[in-house]
Amino acid sequence: MTPITLFPFAEYWWFYALFTLGVLGLLALDLGVFHREVREVRIREAAGWSVAWISLGLAFGYGLYLYALHRLPLDPRLAGLDHVALARQVGLEYLTGFVVEKSLSVDNIFIFAVVFTYFAIPPRLQYRVLFYGILGALVFRIIFISLGSVLMRFEWVIWLFGAFLILTGLKILFAPEKPIDPDRNPVIRLLRGLMPVTTRLEGAAFLTRIDGVWHATPLLVCLVFIEATDIIFAVDSVPAIFALTREPMIVFTSNVFAILGLRSLFFLLAGVMHRFRFLKYGLGLILVFVGLKMAWLNEAFGGKFPITWSLGIILLLLGASIALSLLVRTKPTAT
């Protein structure tokens, strides 16, 4: 039996349009008003913005729960069902998806820090790169989520995604970390093959004219690498949230709110990320769990593994990895 989609796109296209316009408006307000000047973002400011973005994401989830509580009883397809339980399911699925996507996006922070150091991007220009990086990430997430919502109709795709998430989680747990080398990235090589690249920064410009020829600045090269990295991360994160919910609206909104505050979170945590050395193991175990949920646990529990259990397990794994990182300090090496 095909599960009922509570918020079908044909009926809720207006919501997707308004939500997208609202997000673009927030981003325009962010860069055009609050961060109009090119400057370094301080930790206190980053903390304030991080709290604001997370609070906005959580408030939206509560609003979605209230809307479902009001709207679902009016849907004739859902006659005879427990509408309160369905609305609660919607709210919990959004919250769980938000937590998972936020957790996985934190892993991007280490990549950002390494890339900025590699290309010698000063702190005052990093926010500009991340702004356009997040804007591009939103576009690619929309594409991946649209494809995922279509592919998830096929059972073999569910098994494939589940196995992929399990293997990815195991790779994080057991595979040795490799140093990041942007020069070997095929996307960067393609960019350098299409146009000349200057090694000198030209303020906040991504392109500059030298002897009448357009050159890419290190700022553009850095942005392209960040976009390519986000596509790789999206391949993990989008299937992960489809393991928790089949509602495209929940997948889309929780994904967007999870990455909107990523810039502020970067400036808040970039200097202390090295202390969370066990976080990657928590993220690896989370991916293994959601992969098992997609490929086996949902079927074993009559088609739907309890979302409250999923949220509890994910929070436990995430909290334990953070607590262990803070409690277990690295021993200083002998000189």
* First-last CA distance in the chain: 66
Query: What is the model's pLDDT at position 19?
Result: 94
In which residue ranges of the chain is pLDDT below 70?
A: 1-3, 31-39, 330-335
Indicate whether 122 belongs to any domain: yes
Residues 166, 242: Cα–Cα separation, whole Å:
14
* 333: CB partners within 8 A, 6+ apart: none
Indicate whether 147 belongs to any domain: yes
Q: State the CB neighbour count (10 A cutoff) for residue 181.
A: 10
How far are the Cα atoms of 115, 182, 215, 277 from residue 200, in angstroms, in the given order?
16, 17, 10, 34
Query: What is the model's pLDDT at position 1?
Result: 46
Domain boundaries, position 316: 9-171+232-327
Query: What is the model's pLDDT at position 204?
Result: 85
Q: State the CB neighbour count (10 A cutoff) for residue 313.
A: 17
Q: What are phi and psi of 100, to 5 degrees?
A: -65, -50
Indicate whether 198 belongs to any domain: no
As for how many domains the chain has, the answer is: 1
Residues 50, 106: Cα–Cα separation, whole Å:
12
Give the model confidence (pLDDT) of 117-166 as tens digits: 888 888 888 888 888 888 888 888 888 888 888 888 888 888 999 999 99
The residues pairing with 214 across neighbouring beta strands, listed in sequence order, are 209
Residues 172, 68: Cα–Cα separation, whole Å:
37
Query: Do 276 and 164 form a contact (C-beta atoms < 8 A)?
Result: no
Indicate whether 215 belongs to any domain: no
Write the Ramachandran bin of 180: left for phi over 0, alpha for psi from -120 to 50, otherwise beta: beta
Indicate whether 163 belongs to any domain: yes
Residues 304, 281: Cα–Cα separation, whole Å:
26
How far are the Cα atoms of 23, 205, 275 from residue 211, in angstroms, in the given order?
39, 17, 47
Query: Do 288 and 170 form a contact (C-beta atoms < 8 A)?
Result: yes
SS3 annotation, the chain: CCCCCCCCHHHHHHHHHHHHHHHHHHHHHHHHHHCCCCCCCCHHHHHHHHHHHHHHHHHHHHHHHHHHHHHHHHCHHHCCCCHHHHHHHHHHHHHHHHHHHHHHHHHHHHHHHHHHHHCCCCHHHHHHHHHHHHHHHHHHHHHHHHHHHHHCCCHHHHHHHHHHHHHHHHHHHHCCCCCCCHHHCHHHHHHHHHCCECCCCCCCCCEEEECCEEEECHHHHHHHHHHHHHHHHHHHHHHHHHCCCCCHHHHHHHHHHHHHCHHHHHHHHCCCHHHCCCHHHHHHHHHHHHHHHHHHHHHHCCCCCCHHHHHHHHHHHHHHHHHHHHHCCCCCCCC
